[in-house]
Chain A
Amino acid sequence: MKLKKKTARKKEAVRPPRPEEKGEPKRTPVYLVGDYEMVADFTTLCSSHGYFVFFHFNSPPEQERLLDSRFSKKSAQIPKDISFALELTNIDLEQKRLNLEQLDRALPASTVIASSSVTVSATEQSSWIKHKNRLVGCSALPSISEKPLIEIAPTAFTPTGTVSIVQRFFQSVGKEIELVQDRVGMVFPRIVCQMINEAAFALQEEIATPREIDVAMKVGANYPLGPIEWADRIGLEHVYAVLKALHTDLGENRYCVAPLLKQMAVSGSWWHRAHAPNEERNSA
């Protein structure tokens, strides 16, 4: 049952690009752009690990979270001297393309970009830019930014050196790395979103109430969260984006999005949220 890794890469124990803690001389600047929740999460993560973060949201919410202004700054402009860039858009792929084109134009060819590749493969993204070899995919979803592991996916164009820069960057913010193949959905987002999709089918068939579904999976299958709770943490818009991308990419019925999930994603509702429909409607 052992699979051979298609891309053999040596593990290097290189010191992470982290500035000296003593006296706080100069912090390494990084640039983060993309969907609000993930940019906010990663800004907090990076600034607490010794970086200075310039960030920009695709569309900021009405009420923004307070971010540490000593070590981070909102900036629509991309500073030329940043050492690393993260593109974190899952939902609006047109916007993602604009962001990447902009990063590609503004940054020297040697600056590496890690880009969320859960709704479009990193290889496809690299076809949008001129310096294809600077891009590496990574798994980004709201609510998993603080987890101790991140999946990264090199593209067909990524040289080993670029991969190890990305590895070192994520290690420097406290993450273990799993190198996976560059496919839409990667590992965790694909599995968890399909679990939520199945729960949405069960809900629209009125098999049980949302609360009962969560209780059943936590008590009966020992899951840390029920699928309805997962969807709440991640945000249904992101779940929908992943599912749609899987369906487009793989073209199989198995990845059809549950109509109820789609409806609720576009209308911005889900059970634990303020606009939640009446949960007990199924228990008649």
Chain B
Amino acid sequence: MVRHLGVVGAGTMGAGIAQLAALSGIEVSLYDINGTILRQALERIKTNFKSNWDKRELTENQTIEAFGRLHPRTRLAELNHAEIIVEAAIEELRIKKDLFRHLEADTKPTTILASTTSSLSITAIASSTRHPEKVLGLHFINSPGAARLVEIVRGQQTSAETIRRAIEFTAQLNKTAVVTQDSPGFIVNRLVQPFYGEALRILGERIADHEQIDRIMRAVGDFNLGPFESMDTAGVDQCLSVTQSIQDQTSGESRYRPHSLLKQMVDSGMLGRKSGVGFYKYNGNEK
């Protein structure tokens, strides 16, 4: 059982994890180097709790208790009570390696260090520590609150004990967990590539149009959303950046080559639902 969690970085991901953990009864030390961002994050979480309360998902007491479990921190050394520290800083290897080196120095030897990275190697991040066996990845699919799945990423040196404790932690957060090796795109981001990539090819080769392809995949494949509806919902730019990142990490493997149409759309600001136009046109929430 994790009683005390440390979260490094109070951006959307970090604040989301802090909020989720506090609601799951875990004491959370939320760290950010920037005091303003930290204050804003706490305000956001407060607003979210308030709306949970308004919707009667939480009682007044639960709201107050959950918020009371959040402790803003501006010094890494203040995270030393945590059994697990989850890092959610920007996706830059140099910065993450630096952070992990400091985290290891400032915390107990038994503390597990986790990164939420979706595009960097856990093995590479762990290489800056003296105990890479206690370093692993926790990849939340979508935002932490909405995610139903967490990919637990095993670096080359990660110990079985570290994995076991991470599985326990995700169960505490009420998420389904799968264990994956440290490999580009892990499981989900990699295995969705053909769903988008082949659909784009089929469209590009003029075999069928995007509406037909979506209809076929829904009716024959029982998918909730066809590939184009799905890309519009996730954001065309997001899809392109994931594909590009996997291609870069695999030194240009042709299965992950982004389709030129994606680039053209991103360059034209056709990003999907959020920009009002993607493969479909949107009017509010309606297609």
**A interface list, Cβ under 8 A from B:** 1-3, 5-6, 139, 144, 147-151, 176, 178, 180-181, 183, 186-188, 190-192, 194-195, 197-199, 201-202, 205-208, 212-213, 215-217, 219-225, 227, 252-254, 283
Q: Given the known A-B contacts A180-B207, A227-B191, are A188 and B216 also in contact in the complex, defined by CB atoms under 8 Å?
A: yes
Please report the C-alpha to C-alpha distance between residue A190 and residue B255 in the assembled complex, in whole angstroms: 14
A213 near B191 (CB under 8 angstroms)?
yes
Please report the C-alpha to C-alpha distance between residue A254 and residue B255 in the assembled complex, in whole angstroms: 5
Q: Given the known A-B contacts A180-B208, A224-B223, A253-B254, are A190 and B191 also in contact in the complex, defined by CB atoms under 8 Å?
A: no
- Residues of A within 8 Å of B199, CB to CB, are 191
Q: How many A-B residue pairs have CB under 8 A?
A: 146
B187 near A3 (CB under 8 angstroms)?
no
B257 near A220 (CB under 8 angstroms)?
no
B178 near A215 (CB under 8 angstroms)?
yes
- Contact-residue bracket for chain B: 35 or more
- Residues of A within 8 Å of B186, CB to CB, are 207
Q: Mark B253-287, 1 if CB is under 8 A from A, else 0.
A: 01101000000000000000000000110000000
- Residues of A within 8 Å of B206, CB to CB, are 3, 6, 181
Most buried by A among B147, B195, B197, B224: B195
B210 near A1 (CB under 8 angstroms)?
yes
CB distance from B162 to the nearest CB of A (A): 15
Residue of A nearest to B280 (CB): A1
Q: CB within 8 A of B181: which of A1, A197, A207, A254?
A: A207
A219 near B176 (CB under 8 angstroms)?
yes
A212 near B178 (CB under 8 angstroms)?
yes
Residue of A nearest to B219 (CB): A149
B2 in contact (CB, < 8 A): no
B194 near A198 (CB under 8 angstroms)?
yes
- Residues of A within 8 Å of B279, CB to CB, are 1
Q: CB within 8 A of B183: which of A3, A148, A205, A213?
A: A205
Residue of A nearest to B279 (CB): A1
B208 near A220 (CB under 8 angstroms)?
no
Q: Given the known A-B contacts A181-B208, A215-B178, are A198 and B191 also in contact in the complex, defined by CB atoms under 8 Å?
A: yes
B176 near A192 (CB under 8 angstroms)?
no
Most buried by B among A180, A197, A220: A220
**What are 14 sample pairs from A and B whose C-beta atoms fall under 8 A apart?**
A1-B210, A1-B279, A139-B220, A181-B206, A191-B199, A194-B198, A195-B194, A201-B255, A207-B180, A207-B187, A208-B187, A213-B191, A215-B178, A216-B178
